[in-house]
Amino acid sequence: MANECSVYYKQAIDSLIAAGIKEPADFFWAGVFAGICEQVMMKVKPAGMIGSDMPHAEEATRLIAEVYRLHRERLDKPTGGFEVWVCRKDDEEALLNLKRLQSGGLDWAEYHALRGRLCGYTDDMIHAYTEGIWP
């Protein structure tokens, strides 16, 4: 029988506590990231990310990605800071697209369109964002 999402979430929380990460804000952001990982693991979307403003971003995302058995990659943002991205280890297209994001050479619209596709947004939503008509 497959594990319910609560089993994975409890494993993620237990690993954070074992690492000394246990403040309420830490758990909030860890929960957000666990939800992203759940969607990626279940193939709801190819990839997902969270920004460097997440408390303990490096360590917490590493621990949570391990629970969900996802590929985790830190990508520097062109505007400063970084994002932590996850995708399935068996998703070759997502892995290649993460490399494209990091390699640079994409203009603003291409960069954000690729990010949007990785996060599972529709082409209409990506177009609205890149054209400046975001809802």
What does the pLDDT look like over 23-80, one tens digit per residue? 878 788 888 999 999 999 999 999 999 988 877 888 999 999 999 999 999 998 878 8
Q: Are 17 and 48 in contact (CB under 8 A)?
A: no
pLDDT score recorded for residue 1: 40
Question: Residues 1-25: pLDDT tens digits?
Answer: 456 777 887 888 888 889 888 887 8
- Res 93: pLDDT: 97
Model confidence at 135, pLDDT cuts 50, 70, 90, reads: low
State pTM to two decimals: 0.84
Q: How confident is the model at residue 134 (pLDDT cuts 50, 70, 90)?
A: low
User: Which tens digit of pLDDT belongs to each residue from 58-72?
Assistant: 899 999 999 999 999
Among candidates 73, 64, 69, 74, which has minimal Cα distance to 18? 64
Domain parsing of the chain, residue ranges = 5-130
The CA–CA distances, whole Å, from 1 to 4, 35, 60 equal: 9, 21, 28
Show the DSSP H helices in 42-107 as ranges. Answer: 57-67, 92-103
The CATH fold assigned to 5-130 is PG1857-like (3.30.2190)
